[in-house]
Structure 1
Amino acid sequence: MVRGNNRQNIFNNEQDMNEYFRILNFVYGKYPFELYAYCIMSNHVHLLIRSRLVPLWKNHGATQPAVQRLLPNEV
């Protein structure tokens, strides 16, 4: 799960959310996974994924730093 500090918003607009999905697509290219469901809210994200080829921590480990660069003051 990705969550903002003190439950603050990490996505301020639709463009921020689209950028998050672009990051997920990039991570998918490095560490393929199956995305079964997601819930994206202004202050956090839930992903239901399965990774058969690499440990899940690699997927999350690659996503989190990219989100922190995207939204450095919120995450």
Structure 2
Amino acid sequence: MNSTSLFERIAQIIELVLELKPGTVNESTSNQSVSEWDSLNHIKLILALEDEFQCEFEPDEMASMTSAGKIQEALKNKLG
């Protein structure tokens, strides 16, 4: 899977979980820039990503996944 299609899938999941308008997520979208990205929605987002990509994140990975770009990095590392 190339980086563009990976990011598109990540962005769609973020938009779905956080109920954002389609096309609003970019690599800098973060828990600091989106008020809907609170601790509960962070857990929902992690679970949705794990389900979509059939993987499991460690607690330290979850804590570092604070932006769309960091999520992409974590998934690239996880998926190889």
Greater strand share, 1 or 2? 1
TM, length-normalised to structure 1: 0.48
Greater helix share, 1 or 2? 2
TM, length-normalised to structure 2: 0.46
